[in-house]
Amino acid sequence: MPADVPALEEVIRASVLELQSSDYTAEQRERALELVFGVDTQLIEDGTYFVAEARALDAQVIAACGGWSKRKTLYGSDHCAGREDALLDPDRDAAKIRAFFVHPAWARRGIGSKILEVCEAAALAAGFRRLEMGATLTGVPLYRARGYVEGERLQVPLGPSLSLPIVHMEKLL
């Protein structure tokens, strides 16, 4: 929900800074948080963004988030350049798996896999038969284990001499 955006931003920031530290430099992670990573409110508006909540210190917290999209944008938050919000055709196009982040305190517990299952089922119910994503290097092992196939390696520009390597991945449903 829109009210969750501040909590989602905290989860995303913590996830990127800690969990992606072995795959990306500190400069790449900070710039990606400025230019690429963050909440995509279109996913929230479309009802295709999901959270996993957990109990911590007598409060409910967002432990992870992730979604799927029926729109052309492959990756990126509201502030990411090059967004394409046109609708996809399920008979011709692949739905997009988007914006998966797990808070470090909740990592390696199967939460990301569960959200991915929910996204795949929802995309299938919407008529899509293929999925694709722009996966971070950190996410590739998870997606590979869940049946996604690696394709082209892409470079997301972060500045004049800095980029963020990602991997295009696909799966047939």
pLDDT tens per residue across span 141-166: 999 999 999 999 999 999 999 999 99
How confident is the model over 48-57, as a mean pLDDT?
A: 91
Rg (alpha carbons) of the chain, rounded to whole number: 15
> 3-class SS at 138?
coil
DSSP-derived letter for residue 111 is: H
**Would you say residue 171 has pLDDT above 90?**
yes
**What does the mean pLDDT of the chain come to?**
95
Distance of alpha carbon 4 from alpha carbon 67, whole angstroms: 14
Tell me how many helices (H) and strands (E) the chain has. 5, 6
> Residues 105-124: pLDDT tens digits?
999 999 999 999 999 999 99
Distance of alpha carbon 103 from alpha carbon 121, whole angstroms: 23
> Residues 79-98: pLDDT tens digits?
887 788 899 999 999 999 99
Q: Which pLDDT score, from 0 to 100, does residue 81 have?
A: 75
2-129 is a CATH 3.50.50.60 domain: no
CA dihedral angle for residue 113, residue 119, residue 123, residue 128, rounded to 10 degrees: -30
